[in-house]
Structure 1
Amino acid sequence: MRARLLIQRGAPGEAPREEEFALEFEPGESVLDGLRRLRVEQDATLAFRYACLNANACKECMMLLDGRVIYACTARLEAREMRLAPLGNKALLRDLATEIAPPDERLG
């Protein structure tokens, strides 16, 4: 099976651009599994966050999938076009990575 990932790329101050990646996957693989493999096999510069201590608890891998907020660790890859973008209401770091916790809640 093959997913077509359309990923919004860019950094603060840059015009966002969309890049397309084709990704083979097995049924049940998460979007996060795919992104991690994509970074190893196709583009080491792709930025996204994750800290898999407990699924759906850390909130590090939150992003938009087709305009809806998801956890990349629990959303599943599908054999279709899947559009990924950073959270729009958080400060962009780069690509899909945003600042999750407000500055006053981050550990120093």
Structure 2
Amino acid sequence: MKATLQIQRGGPDETPRVEAFELSFEPGQSVLDGLRALRLDADPTLAFRYSCINANACKECMMLIDGDVDYACTVRLKEGVTSLAPLPKKALVRDLVTEIAPPDERLYRS
């Protein structure tokens, strides 16, 4: 099976661009599985956040998936095109990574 991930790329001071990556997958694999495979095989600079302990427990891999806020670890890859973008209304760090901790809880000051 083949999936195409259209991923919004760039940093906070850049014009966002969309890059498309095609990948093979097995039924049941998650979007997070696909992102990890892409970073390993296609583009090691791809930035996304995850910290898997248990599905839907850490909330690190939240992003816009086909326009809906969801967890990359729970949404399954599908044949065809899936669009990925960073969370809206959050400060962009790079690619799919946004600031998730409130400013007073960060280890550094922006």
Q: Alignment length, in residue pairs? A: 108
Q: For the residues of structure 1 that align with 2:80 and 2:56, how far apart are their CA atoms?
A: 24
Code of the aligned partner of 1:16: P
Identity of aligned residues (%): 69
Task: Show the counterpart of 1:4.
Answer: 4
Runs of at least 4 residues off by over 6 Å: none
What RMSD in Å do the two structures reach over aligned CA positions? Answer: 1.1
Structure 1 length-normalised TM: 0.95
CA distance in 1, matches of 2:58, 2:91: 18
Residues 31-67 of structure 1: CA deviation (Å, up to 9, x unaligned):
0000001000000000000000221111110000111
Q: Is the counterpart of residue 22 in structure 1 residue 35 in structure 2?
A: no
- TM-score by length of structure 2 reads 0.94
Instruction: Name the structure 1 match of 2:88.
Output: 88
> Deviation of residue 107 (structure 1)?
5.5
Distance 1:105 1:54 in 2: 23
In structure 1, what is the Cα distance between the partners aligned to 2:104 and 2:71? 23
Structure 2 spans left out of the alignment, 5+ residues = none
